[in-house]
Chain A
């Protein structure tokens, strides 16, 4: 059994409504995976639990939860169904961007109150055809809406929008104006019911099949106050990147912990069959528990550093080269650790792990884990860190 992550306020995670969401995530995980469908049962239960607005400040009607609590929820969901955990994580990342960078705007404050009431689900469109996977550059730009000033509009070809067909709202990166540089980006929040969205391909993948993340062509017309006031560069460095790497790591830690639990149950079953002797697979399991301890420590220390810096209000520290290197290191090492953990569990369980059914199956965990190195390609992060380390000196 993996020790629990840090204790958090019981009224959120121990509440029967959240426990119900966990149960439903687990019950439907195999079907969600097999059919590559949106995990609607678990997401509806999370809405019923009010979990979509946990991170919204109390003064706007939310639970005022901390990132620790959201991370723990992501971890628990991902132990049952990594797709559900990832969808919940991505939604919390969007909420983090709005609450940390836009609550001073009356429109966004009202929007968050509405989100609390309606438990709206936010997806994000940061990917774009032609940018080579670099979310810090955009081709699409904000234009005046012809004949409808002061309304604005954008068109964007997004290569991947997770749960785009099931979300209520969309946060999209675009250039600030038609003549802006590719890196001069802003985030725009639009309601999907008021947009044109055309799905451009299918999402039939190896793993993370329930996130339903195909490409879309987007068209939106919106009022100027739907633009987050801070530049995307700031939002990205201070919130989107750290939230993403920390919450994604909790998804991967969750699905790996489930694989470990399956392996441990397998070893126990063997031990019960031959009382008095320790089964050979137990040695592999103890090896795996060392790996899991390192994995967990790495994820927790990154979460702790970020929570401490944000609690201190040290925004400058979040945009230093040093923090960028460390938060990229988290993503690279956690994504690799997840695959290694699932492979370790597979070695323990043997053929029982290789089978797609039964309590010791590791297939879904392993397939889901392989997405980790690809979401923001690890090679891109290695390349970025290679440059950053030319100037950064640890401890100075």
Chain B
């Protein structure tokens, strides 16, 4: 099915190429609440396809209204999984969870608690 990937193929595969490094180098064993949100802000800036500077992305900013497409939300999901070394269960791979930094952070914390 790879032949059918069109829109964000470059983004997606660039991300995969880099993901191993991200995994081994920067996953932190005890991320604090603030850390998680700051890391997320950088991931959102790099991968959500928004026309917003870093300091305009608040924890509660509605990312979809700020211009994130469904395609870039998938890129964001993959980037978050790679950065935090986690896998989201299907129930968390939803539009609601990925609509702002706060709810993504809560989902990550829930997974980290379950894994601890």
Does B26 have its Cβ within 8 Å of any Cβ on chain A?
A: no
Q: Chain A residues near B71 (CB, 8 Å)?
A: 384, 387
- The verdict on B90 contacting chain A, using a C-beta distance below 8 Å, is yes
Contact, CB under 8 Å: B95 / A233: yes
Given contacts A237-B95, A320-B93, A322-B90, contact A183 B2 (CB under 8 A): no
Q: With A233-B95, A387-B8, A387-B12 known to touch, is A396 a contact of B89 (CB < 8 Å)? A: yes
Which residues of A (373-396) have their CB < 8 Å from a CB of B? 379, 382-393, 396
Contact assessment for A386 and B94 in the assembled complex, using a CB-CB cutoff below 8 Å: no
A388 touches B74 (CB 8 A): yes
Report chain B residues within 8 Å CB of A206: none
Interchain CB contact (< 8 A) of A396 among B4, B12, B78, B87: B87
Q: A387-B71, A391-B81, A393-B87 are in contact. Are A181 and B66 (CB under 8 A)?
A: yes
Chain A: how many interface residues by the 8 Å CB criterion? 31
Cβ < 8 Å to B, chain A residues 356-384: 379, 382-384
- Let me know if A316 and B94 touch, CB within 8 A: yes
Q: Is the CB of B88 within 8 A of A391?
A: yes
| A286 to B87 CA separation, bound complex (whole angstroms) | 46
Contact: A321 with B69, CB < 8 Å?
Answer: no
List 13 additional A-B contacts (Cβ < 8 Å) besides A379-B6, A387-B71: A183-B67, A231-B64, A321-B74, A321-B94, A382-B4, A383-B7, A384-B71, A387-B5, A387-B75, A390-B12, A390-B74, A391-B81, A393-B90
Task: Give the distance to chain A from B90, nearest Cβ to Cβ, in Å.
Answer: 4
Which residues of chain B have C-beta atoms less than 8 A from A389's C-beta? 1
Residue B56 interfacial (CB < 8 Å): no
Give the distance to chain B from A134, nearest Cβ to Cβ, in Å: 9
Which residues of chain A from 177 to 234 have a CB within 8 Å of any chain B CB?
Answer: 180-184, 231, 233-234
Within 54-70 of B, Cβ neighbours of A (below 8 Å) are at 64-70
Q: Is B77 an interface residue (CB 8 A)?
A: yes
- Whole-angstrom CA separation of A180 from B65 in the bound complex: 8
Tell me, rounded to whole Å, the shortest Cβ–Cβ distance linking B107 to chain A: 12
Residues of chain A lying within 8 A (CB to CB) of residue B6: 379, 383
A298 CB → nearest B CB, Å: 19
The CA of A385 and the CA of B74, in the complex, are separated in Å by: 10
A136 close to B (CB within 8 Å): yes
Determine the chain B residues whose CB is within 8 A of the CB of A379 once the complex forms.
4, 6
Which residues of the other chain, B, contact A321 by a CB distance below 8 angstroms?
74, 77, 90, 93-94
Number of B residues, CB within 8 Å of A: 31
Query: Could you list 30 examples of A-B contacts with CB < 8 Å?
Result: A180-B65, A181-B65, A183-B67, A184-B67, A231-B64, A233-B95, A234-B95, A316-B91, A317-B91, A319-B95, A320-B90, A320-B93, A321-B74, A322-B93, A379-B4, A382-B1, A382-B4, A383-B7, A384-B71, A386-B1, A386-B4, A387-B5, A387-B74, A388-B74, A390-B12, A390-B74, A390-B78, A391-B74, A391-B93, A392-B93
Cβ of B51 within 8 Å of any chain A Cβ, yes or no, is yes
Interface of B is mostly: loop
CB closest chain-B residue, reference A381: B4
Chain B proximity of A141: nearest CB distance (Å):
14
Distance A214 CA – B56 CA, assembled complex (angstroms): 43
A390 to B12, CA, bound (A): 9
Task: Give Cα distance in the complex from A320 to B51, angstroms.
Answer: 25
| Alpha-carbon separation in the docked complex, A160 to B75 (Å) | 31
* Contact B68–A183 (Cβ < 8 Å): yes
Residue B96, interface by CB 8 Å = yes
A residues near B69, Cβ cutoff 8 Å: 136-137, 183
Task: Give CA–CA (A388, B2) in the complex, Å.
Answer: 12
Q: How far is the CB of B34 from chain A (nearest CB, A)?
A: 26
Chain A contacts for B78, CB-based, 8 A: 390-391
Closest to B95 in A: A319
Interface residues of B in 71-106 (CB under 8 A from A): 71, 74-75, 77-78, 81, 87-91, 93-96
- Among B64, B74, B89, B91, max chain A CB count under 10 A is at B74
B67, A319: Cβ atoms under 8 Å?
A: no
Contact call B5/A383, Cβ cutoff below 8 A? yes
Q: For residue A319, which residues in chain B have a CB less than 8 angstroms away from its CB?
A: 94-96
Residue of A nearest to B89 (CB): A396
Closest CB-CB distance, B16 to chain A, in whole Å? 8
Min CB–CB distance B24 → chain A (angstroms): 20
Residues of A within 8 A of B64 (CB): 183-184, 231, 233
Name the residue of chain A whose CB is nearest to the CB of B50. Answer: A181
CA distance A38 to B89 in the complex (A): 47
Task: Provide the residues of chain A in CB contact with B96, threshold 8 Å.
Answer: 316, 319
Q: Which of A182, A320, A383, A392 contacts B67 (CB 8 A)?
A: A182
- The complex places the Cα of A199 from the Cα of B4 at a distance, in Å, of 34
A55-B18 Cα distance, complex, nearest whole Å: 50
